[in-house]
Structure 1
Amino acid sequence: MMENINTQEILTIGNVLIDTTRPMKERFRALFTLRNLGGETAIQCISKCFNDESVLLKHELAYCLGQMQDKNAIPVLRSVLEDKQQDPIVRHEAGEALGAIGDPDLRELLERYKDDSAIEVAETCQIALERLNWVANDGVTEKLSKSPYSSIDPAPPSSTNDIKLLKDTLMDESKPLYDRYRAMFSLRNMATTESINALGEGFKATSALFRHEVAFVFGQMQDVRSVPFLKMALEDTKEHEMVRHEAAEALGSIATDECIEVLKRYLQDPRPVVRESCEVALDMSEYENSPEFQYANTLLAVKAQG
């Protein structure tokens, strides 16, 4: 929890998040500010927003709650996963968030949805269960490649750094998705031209969930060598919207002129998740190209008003 923050300031940031009249980019900044602040009040503010119309925003709410790794978020994430009225993109992220929190008591819930009729949800719960097993078996003490990112990943990196083996595992559709995810995170941590090209091949996988994770990983890496792969994913209007949205956000974090140009082209995309992602991604590009210290800066705005 950051110092010198009172409950009222957190609630004020929460009010920015739930205000549907504000641009999506402002609401995103408020959400990530709440994630960074942490604590029960921040979780309550985030939880209030799951009845919003924006699938993209609700997906990011679930993501942030998982990254906070606070068990206070379990009840709302459970209810989102169980709610068949929620878009599969949102339910999948709730399942992934529960896996990130890593509470062994969640096993029964995740088991119930590992064969869900929505394939994205089923695959996510299968991976989350494997992560619970890994945590329970002291996998955290395994000697694995160090992630340069502060994210809680759906799977740990693989125990090998043999790039041919990793690439073969990544693309082997007969292997469990969890093992392929492990290969993916190892390739991410390597960050070489060879590993980036191997990850780019991941867009040929049959699982949309898998392809979306490749795009997410590229967004973390912020490496211009991944731009051709991301552009191809966003420009493919037949591609699953969860993949295109993640590709858009990744391009926003890389923020070259080429990335900005392609994002502007899809600001009017017929799919709300894609066009909102492009709007948020352009705001991220603006931040990446500015002297601003912090993207999640709603707290500064609140203090300035106070």
Structure 2
Amino acid sequence: MIRSLVAFIGLKVVRLASLLFAISLISFILVSFSPIDPVQAYIGADMMRVSPEQRILITQHWGLDKSPIEQFVRWGTTLLHGDLGTSMIFRRPVAEVICERFLNSISMMSTAWLLSGIIGFIAGVIAAMKKDTWIDRLIKWYCYTLASTPTFWMGLLLLILFAVWLGWFPIALGVPAGVLSEQVTWMDRIQHMILPAMTLSIVGISSIALHTRQKLLDVLSSDYILFARARGERGFRLFWRHGLRNVALPAVSLQFTAFSELFGGAVLAEQVFSYPGLGQVTVEAGTRGDVPLLLGVVLFSALFVFSGNLFADLIYRLVDPRLRERRIL
């Protein structure tokens, strides 16, 4: 078992290295064809005050006078030494910017991730146990509607309803405006986080609920469930003893593999609520031509999504003995 697990992890590491290299190369090629002038974006409103000589010095300082191949080699060399470079927007190391903003985003994303997983799983179980009733039709209508709902539209709807009309939550930002950082309380941060987290969790419920419903319906139609019904087992006891484990594993796997949708949704939700997280930094880096920061965020997001898939595979292998005995391809 240990040798199989080590070989499995080793194969995943090789795949991760090849994935990061391919993503880095493709992202750098796409950025090199961007119409945004990074020097002009770096100078900003002071463009008229900067002389052509100063513009040349800025270009040389950031290595933008080199060819794209030389820039990629230079960036890749520094990356191998553990340095993601310096952000042109924030004038700080990229690693510090990503770490700071990710700490803001992780609380929101983890809250939304847990809520969408728990509520989606419960809704899927109820829909399957109440098949063809009004409860099942209501849950399916809810899921199908949300599956086609854009994240930014849901965020705007919640913003108008709960922040503008009802005034229950702050309109935007991650902390109250005009308040010193040492005076910001945890309650202030939670109040500003609720609406973005609600946006992500509401949209993320549909896939978990529909998948769990279909999987439980397949389980309930199996032979051993029919045998359990013949012995007199019904309702929640039948699900708890015979259906929970068979339904929970696919739901957990789907929940971990949904990291990519979670990160993509966070980008849109943070833009709607002006939440200072990693998603907002991604948009700023793309629109202002901050190549080091953009590439750093791309690598980090790829690592984040890959970690979710890896956790899902590990949970499957630890819980299901058949996968531990299977030969690694």
Q: TM-score, normalised by structure 1?
A: 0.26
Structure showing greater Rg: 2
